[in-house]
């Protein structure tokens, strides 16, 4: 994976939002935020258990999804970006995911913040001690 091995937050994405990959949307949203070491991977939408693990539900149908998580399991940090069919689906998914976010999946740690943001046909769900800043960065991407 192209982001592996690099210090989180060190990846600078210099392109317009409309041209970013899902991974680049996450990396750009990490700007100026102190984060744990993270790794990104595609969410296998055909694996119901994996989808439920990352989203807390199987009720959100998406075209493609990428998750960025802390590589140390005792750190509560997960950011998901989903590409949806259209903007209405992204808005609906944001509302659903705000309710279903699996903030207890780390068992021994819970993130201080969680939430969602959507723009165009993309939705981001963040569960992290920096979730609000990450979501604000996502919303502000040009």
The pTM score is 0.90
The predicted structure's pLDDT at residue 10? 59
Instruction: Give the pLDDT band (50/70/90) at residue 74.
Output: confident
- Round to whole Å and give the CA distance between 17 and 55: 23
**102, 126 Cβ separation under 8 angstroms:** no
**80, 43 Cβ separation under 8 angstroms:** yes
Q: Please report the sign of the dihedral spanned by the C-alpha atoms of residue 26, residue 28, residue 32, residue 38.
A: positive
The predicted structure's pLDDT at residue 12? 81
**Model pLDDT for residues 33-64, shown as the tens digit of each residue:** 988 899 999 999 999 999 999 999 999 999 99
- Round to whole Å and give the CA distance between 96 and 114: 13
**Model pLDDT for residues 84-127, shown as the tens digit of each residue:** 999 999 999 999 999 999 999 998 999 999 999 999 999 999 99
């Amino acid at each position: 994976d192209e982001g592996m091995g690099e210090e989180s937050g060190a990846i600078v994405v210099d392109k317009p939002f409309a041209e970013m990959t899902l991974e680049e949307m996450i990396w750009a949203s990490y700007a100026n935020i102190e984060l744990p070491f993270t790794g990104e991977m595609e969410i296998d939408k055909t694996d119901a258990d994996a989808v439920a693990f990352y989203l807390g539900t199987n009720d959100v149908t998406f075209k493609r999804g990428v998750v960025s998580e802390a590589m140390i399991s005792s750190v509560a940090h997960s950011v998901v970006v989903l590409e949806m069919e259209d903007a209405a689906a992204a808005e609906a998914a944001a509302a659903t995911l705000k309710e279903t976010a699996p903030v207890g999946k780390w068992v021994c740690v819970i993130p201080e913040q969680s939430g969602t943001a959507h723009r165009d046909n993309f939705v981001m769900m963040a569960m992290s001690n920096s979730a609000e800043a990450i979501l604000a960065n996502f919303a502000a991407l040009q």
